[in-house]
Amino acid sequence: MKIDLVTIFPGMLEGPFKESMIKRAVDRGLVEINLIDLRSYTRDRHRQVDDTPYGGGCGMILKPEPLFEAVEDLKSKSEYERSWVLLMTPQGRRFDQQAARKLSGEKHLILICGRYEGVDERVRTALIDEEFSIGDYVLTGGELAAAVIVDAVVRLLPGFITEEAAANESFSDSFLEHPHYTRPSAFRGMEVPSVLLSGNHAEIERWRRKQSIKRTCERRPDLLEKAKLLPDEKSYLEEIMRQQN
Ligand code: SAM
């Protein structure tokens, strides 16, 4: 996969991709991540990327010309047939694991990071395939949102983590993941559940599944609407719900 991030502050995005597992994915060739300085697509002496809004009002708007030139250039240089262009915006669809999974199937992503009051509307209507928000709050720029999206997408690429690890994760099948424990088995009077020390893998799996259902019911009951439950899991869920009421 190839990911191009278009920003006026490329320095902001250097850290997140040069550490830990994302760096390893880059080093292993699972993904190529390029930071594209929008100013390199300006033609004037001042390398101007923004201008005042028509109609007056506060703030600056990212101009259409450099953004169009950047996206057209990145698309034309891409070795892939399809490039999928994303705009970071608080007005977009809320980014979630399902969206991450879908995006991880793309070969070439171009992420546009807005700044100031945002981008000229013609960018949104003519250049963008999907608009994403990472939550109902307003950031100063799209860089952190883009870093979140890239992180969530890259870790779903085949070979990044094992299929088993990916399958058990929160949101992978409409459930939150079960709790985890590590050594020591007793810490400040808090014991690790004995089943996890039993070595009985079938029992451990059953315990984890039940914990996962319980957690989801307590914290994110909305997720359970789409969950596929076996008959005994259904009865367990009903029991938890009875206890809650
Ligand atoms: N004036 C815009 C509005 O009210 O909708 C907000 C602009 S915001 C200050 C500047 C840039 O930050 C946006 O263009 C977008 O790229 C990014 N941004 C801010 N909040 C975001 C969010 N929740 N999700 C994704 N991107 C966001």
Q: Which atom of ligand 1 is nearest to the CA of 138?
A: 20
Does the Cβ of 184 fall within 6 Å of ligand 1?
no
Residue nearest to atom 24 of ligand 1 (CA): 133
Q: Please report the pLDDT score of residue 168 as a whole number.
A: 78
What does the DSSP assignment read for 45-90?
TT---EEPPTT--SS-EE-HHHHHHHHHHHHHH-SSS--EEEEEEE
Cβ–ligand 1 distance for 114 under 6 Å, the answer yes
Q: Would you write out the chain's pLDDT as a tens digit for each of its 245 residues? A: 999 999 999 999 999 999 999 999 999 999 999 999 999 999 999 999 999 999 999 999 999 999 999 999 999 999 999 999 999 999 999 999 999 999 999 999 999 999 999 999 999 999 999 999 999 999 999 999 999 999 999 999 999 988 878 877 888 888 999 999 999 999 999 999 999 999 999 999 999 999 999 999 999 999 999 899 999 999 999 999 999 88
- Residue 138 Cβ inside 6 Å of ligand 1? The answer reads yes
- The CB of 190 under 6 Å from ligand 1? The reply is no
Q: In what helix (H) or strand (E) does residue 24 lie, and over which residues does it extend?
A: helix 20-27
pTM: 0.95
Distances in whole angstroms, Cα of residue 139 to Cα of each of 8, 88, 98, 135, 238: 15, 10, 23, 10, 41
Do 2-161 and 168-244 have matching folds?
no
SS3 assignment, position 13: helix
pLDDT at 162: 85
Other CB atoms within 10 A of residue 144 CB? 16
SS3 at position 112: strand
Closest atom of ligand 1 to 116 CA is 10
pLDDT at 166: 80
Distance CA 101, CA 154 (A): 10
Q: Write down the pLDDT at residue 164.
A: 78
Q: Which CATH class is domain 168-244?
A: mainly alpha
pLDDT score at 22: 95
Quote the Cα angle for 31-173-228, to 5°: 155
pLDDT at 143: 98
Instruction: Report the b/e string of 38-71 with b at 16+ CB within 10 A.
Output: beebbeeeeeebbeeeeeeeeeebbbbebbbebb
- Tell me the pairing of strands 108-112 and 130-133: unpaired
Element (H, E) at 107: none
Per-residue confidence (pLDDT) for residue 39, from 0 to 100:
98
Output the pLDDT for position 245. Answer: 84
Cβ of residue 140 lying under 6 Å from some atom of ligand 1: yes
pLDDT attached to residue 163: 80
Domain range list for the chain: 2-161, 168-244
- Give domain 2-161's CATH superfamily: SPOUT methyltransferase, trefoil knot domain (3.40.1280.10)
Contact 240, 209 (CB under 8 A): no
Is 225:216 a contact under the CB 8 Å cutoff? no
3-state secondary structure at position 101 = helix
| Ligand 1 and 61: CB distance under 6 A | no
